[in-house]
Structure 1
Amino acid sequence: MTESPIKSSPIDIPEIPVEIVSEEEMALIEAALAATRSSLSSSVAPSCPSRLSLLSTISSSQFQSNAKSTETITFHSKRPLSGCSETQTINDVEDLGNLGRAQKKVKVPKSLLYRFRRKKGLAVTDITSTEWCEKQMEFSLLRGKPKKTKAMEAGTARHEKLEEEVIKKVKIHVKSVEDIWALKLMNFIVGANQLFFEGMTRELPLIGFLEGVWTVGVIDEIRMPSTGNIRNPLLVDTKTRSQATLPSEAQKRNGRLQLMCYKYLWDNVVSDNFPSDHFFDFFRLNPEITLSKEIKEQTASSGFPAQI
């Protein structure tokens, strides 16, 4: 068997353009490579590729003069190394030794507690609403609370009626944030006195510093039945329902959690370690401010020592 040679057609070889680099241009390139090599060998990890190949492939058309050549090398050296993390920033060839130090700052999103409750404290209902449905609580903060339904309005009216049975409301106009907090503290003192002398009060506002977080809440009802010399407060939470059915186990658990938070808050309030200085700082209150005349008159009429 004989083998016959394969006749091949002539191959067109494209002409490769050749550019001659002058000695002056080569000297500039070698100087830049030497500076880059010394910096990379002392600080850059082997897994991070350098730009030596990029610098060595710069065409001679970019080097028309010494000044222009220097500017071109500086421009390429300021670009980040290919394959390296984008969090690194290089200002010049001489700065390559500080690659490990220069890192991009990553912004950490602030918590919902900081964004929505940093000026008025965490409410007990915030805790129970989060336990009931975290996503619903998030939507209510970001998108606003849903409109009140007829069942919700009926529940609000029921709470107001129960409050009017034991407390007489008085409308007072406030002029500052200090006036608002003065009213809250005064309502707490009046309610605590009513609890002590009458054995029951309703809609009692509370505020305490729990686990490093300022927490606020309003207890629906507190009773203090007397059994001899022992008087233990009994916390009551009123729940209204749109249907005449018993609540589910999940609803009962949520109600128990709310009462436990109120109990924890109550124990914190009746103790003698209320951080008043931290209270003024957190809520940005001025302890030396003069309250409005209407607030002082109401305070004096309630039996508290106040200058009118």
Structure 2
Amino acid sequence: MADSHSGLPPFKDDDNTHEGFPNIPVEIVSDEEMALIEAALAAAVTTSRSSSSVIHSTSSSSHSLFNTRSIHSITLLSKRGIHSTQPDIEDLGKIPITQKKIKVNESLLQRFKRNKPLAVTDITRMEWCEKQMEFSLLSGVRKKTKAMEAGIARHAMLEAEVVKKVKVQVQSIEDIWALKLLNFIVGVHQLVLEGLTRELPVMGLVEGVWIVGIIDEIQMLEIDTTKIPMLIDTKTRVRDTIPAVPQRRNGKLQLMFYKFLLDNLISDGLSIRQFFDFFSLNPHSTLSEEISDTTTSIGFTAKTLDDVVRYYINCCSMLPPTHNQLLIRYESQKDQSIIVEDKFAYDHGWLKTQLETQLQVWHGQREPECTPQEERWKCRHCQFAFDCPTNA
């Protein structure tokens, strides 16, 4: 794979056009590619309240003050799938869609995300197929495939190029959230000082819903002596072919959403009172000694979660708004070579429409719909195909 510091196409401030693709064969999708779509939409990572956590530290010795990053962080919330197991494709039609007794008019958000944030991948999976997402929630069935595991391993490899992991003990939910915020803080320090960071956690209150996500990569571009952060996503493919239009559209939605969340943090910070209330956190809870020592190693002193939150908000203001140009790299799973780089402009209006459309389903304002007729090829690979109304 090309060096991430030099493998970018040239950018112009007024360049809002979509780059044309090179002459590479295009296919709709194969079984293997469908598995990779699943990996891109939501890696099946399960999180729990553990007695210990893991910290990331930058490998650069020249910036030792800013050398800790938390892996027990929003990464786990953002990259995990809704469920932990998924049957093989030969088991299609054998999946029981069980439903608990629920209150009348109780929404998907109330049933499956009560007091929990939505992930950006929850939104993108709903955009891929609303009915598939509903079946996935109702059945609780999901499984990591080999292709998904390969995608997860590749992202871990990319992360390991810029950070290393160190275990840190936690004693409370406030400790865990402090580490999540420290993960962001150190990532921002690394971006400012070194011009590159990966796996940066972001979150925000959007339309009354808490949403979290993980940005694959941010590079600091220098344009006319001004430094501007640019968001980049890496997606792996089994076949060396350009992804189909729905795949590219879904990837663009995901990356635009990350930009939206990060820009909101930069301009508005965090909704402090709503944050503490929603996640049932005590802002004045004393952090463990190990967490406090970690904040000191980063360059500030924090005794309580409130101290960390306030530094977190100050850290958000260190960054300028991100570049309107976004980049998705599609690379070969065989040798990490670049298949194509999809450069596109941020479209706030389109993102807003997509978000409102998907939140209508989460809020129970309308029923989930099947994928459009022209995209029914997705159904050939869907584990819920035999239960779907499209096959009635």
Normalization by structure 2: what TM-score?
Answer: 0.49
Give deviations 1:33-80, integer Å, cap 9, x for gaps.
xxxxxxxxxxxxxxxxxxxxxxxxxxxxxxxxxxxxxxxxxxxxxxxx
Q: Cα–Cα, structure 1 residues 288 and 307, in superposed 2: closer, same or farther, change >3 Å? A: closer
Which of 107, 111, 118 matches 1:115?
A: 111
2:226 paired residue number: 230
The alignment yields a C-alpha RMSD, in angstroms, of: 1.7
1:269 paired residue number: 265
Which of 280, 299, 303 matches 2:276?
A: 280
Q: Say which SS state the counterpart of residue 203 (structure 2) adopts.
A: strand
Q: Say which SS state the counterpart of residue 109 (structure 1) adopts.
A: coil
Cα drift, residue 142 of structure 1: 2.3
CA distance in 1, matches of 2:162, 2:209: 32
Give deviations 1:222-255, integer Å, cap 9, x for gaps.
1111123322221111111222222111100000
Q: Cα–Cα, structure 1 residues 279 and 307, in superposed 2: closer, same or farther, change >3 Å? A: closer
2:132 paired residue number: 136
Cα drift, residue 259 of structure 1: 0.9
Which of 295, 299, 302 matches 2:295?
A: 299
Cα drift, residue 307 of structure 1: 4.9
Q: Cα–Cα, structure 1 residues 110 and 245, in superposed 2: closer, same or farther, change >3 Å? A: same
- Does residue 159 in structure 1 map to residue 155 in structure 2? yes
Would the aligned equivalents of 1:188 and 1:204 in 2 still touch at CA under 8 Å?
A: yes
- Does residue 216 in structure 1 map to residue 227 in structure 2? no
Higher normalized helix content (fraction of residues): 1
Higher normalized strand content (fraction of residues): 2
Unpaired runs of at least 5, structure 1: 1-106
Would the aligned equivalents of 2:286 and 2:303 in 1 still touch at CA under 8 Å?
A: no
Would the aligned equivalents of 1:122 and 1:213 in 2 still touch at CA under 8 Å?
A: yes
> Which protein shows a greater Rg?
1
User: Which amino acid in structure 1 is aligned with residue 299 of structure 2?
Assistant: G
CA distance in 1, matches of 2:296, 2:139: 42
Which of 255, 258, 280 matches 2:254?
A: 258
Cα drift, residue 305 of structure 1: 1.4
Q: Which runs of 4+ in 1 moved over 6 A?
A: none
Return 124-133 or 136-145, whichever deviates more.
136-145
Unpaired runs of at least 5, structure 2: 1-102, 305-392
Overall identity of the aligned pairs, in % = 63
Would the aligned equivalents of 1:209 and 1:268 in 2 still touch at CA under 8 Å?
A: no
Cα drift, residue 144 of structure 1: 2.2
Give deviations 1:124-170, integer Å, cap 9, x for gaps.
00000000011221222222241101111111000000001011222
Cα drift, residue 290 of structure 1: 1.2
CA distance in 1, matches of 2:262, 2:231: 10
Return 217-226 or 270-279, whichever deviates more.
270-279
- Does residue 244 in structure 1 map to residue 240 in structure 2? yes
CA distance in 2, matches of 1:139, 1:177: 31
Normalization by structure 1: what TM-score?
Answer: 0.62
User: Which amino acid in structure 2 is aligned with residue 276 of structure 1?
Assistant: I
Cα drift, residue 258 of structure 1: 0.4
Q: Cα–Cα, structure 1 residues 257 and 274, in superposed 2: closer, same or farther, change >3 Å? A: same
